[in-house]
């Protein structure tokens, strides 16, 4: 299973056009930013789930608010969010981003801006629309596969590793993870903050599964 491929497949050409119009960008730039946002959020979720409490909280959130059913009308859901309909927890993109990235959303947006060519404001407009899609895909994957927390951890780790392997994404994820975590890890070289940092975060927990 390649979570990055599944996530990218949710964004059809028609939806990409709608998103591009919404943020005032070219589709090619929007597509690049979409890839960067999904990759960064996967890395952030993997970071959060690197503790047993974090993993349990993610599993509970998926069971409670993100069963994947909104993927049945994803175009309508995205259209609603672009119109400001984000009152439910399943579509509250800003709330989801707060849980995944905390107060480092601007730092993440700046990194994604540099890799995609969009300005920071455009990236920040795109992120809360894509975050619920990620959670819905994870919820549907968990439910359809009957995954326990260990299985969910394995899928998430695999997805984060796949995201790193996308061209240019390893450095992006490593840079954002370093900034999210703060401290000395921000000072690590990029080749360390990519695979090295993510692997270190997840190895202890997932290695036991």
Cβ neighbours of residue 54 under 8 Å, at least 6 residues apart?
48
For residue range 157-186, list pLDDT tens digits in order: 888 887 777 776 767 766 666 554 443 333
Residue 37's pLDDT band (cuts 50, 70, 90):
very high
For residue range 95-152, list pLDDT tens digits in order: 999 999 888 899 889 989 988 999 999 999 999 999 999 999 999 999 988 899 888 8
For residue range 42-81, list pLDDT tens digits in order: 888 888 888 889 899 999 999 999 988 889 988 888 888 8
* Whole-prediction pTM: 0.82
Predicted pLDDT of residue 91: 82
For residue range 84-94, list pLDDT tens digits in order: 766 677 788 99
Put residue 24 in one of left, alpha, beta given phi > 0 → left and psi -120 to 50 → alpha: left
% residues pLDDT > 70 (the chain): 78
Q: Which sequence spans correspond to the domains of the chain?
A: 3-206
């Amino acid at each position: 299973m390649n979570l990055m491929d599944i996530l990218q497949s949710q964004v059809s050409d028609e939806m990409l056009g709608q998103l591009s119009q919404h943020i005032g960008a070219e589709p090619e730039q929007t597509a690049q930013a979409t890839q960067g946002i999904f990759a960064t959020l996967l890395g952030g979720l993997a970071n959060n789930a690197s503790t047993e409490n974090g993993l349990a909280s993610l599993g509970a959130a998926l069971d409670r608010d993100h069963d994947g059913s909104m993927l049945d009308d994803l175009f309508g859901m995205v259209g609603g969010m672009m119109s400001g309909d984000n009152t439910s927890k399943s579509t509250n993109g800003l709330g989801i981003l707060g849980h995944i990235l905390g107060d480092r959303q601007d730092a993440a947006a700046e990194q994604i801006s540099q890799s995609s060519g969009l300005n920071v404001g455009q990236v920040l407009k795109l992120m809360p629309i894509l975050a619920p899609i990620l959670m819905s895909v994870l919820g549907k994957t968990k439910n359809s596969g009957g995954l326990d927390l260990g299985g969910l951890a394995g899928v998430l780790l695999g997805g984060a590793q796949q995201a790193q392997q996308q061209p240019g994404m390893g450095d992006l994820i490593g840079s954002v993870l370093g900034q999210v975590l703060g401290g000395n890890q921000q000072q690590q070289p990029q080749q360390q903050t990519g695979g090295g940092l993510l692997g270190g975060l997840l190895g202890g927990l997932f290695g036991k599964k």
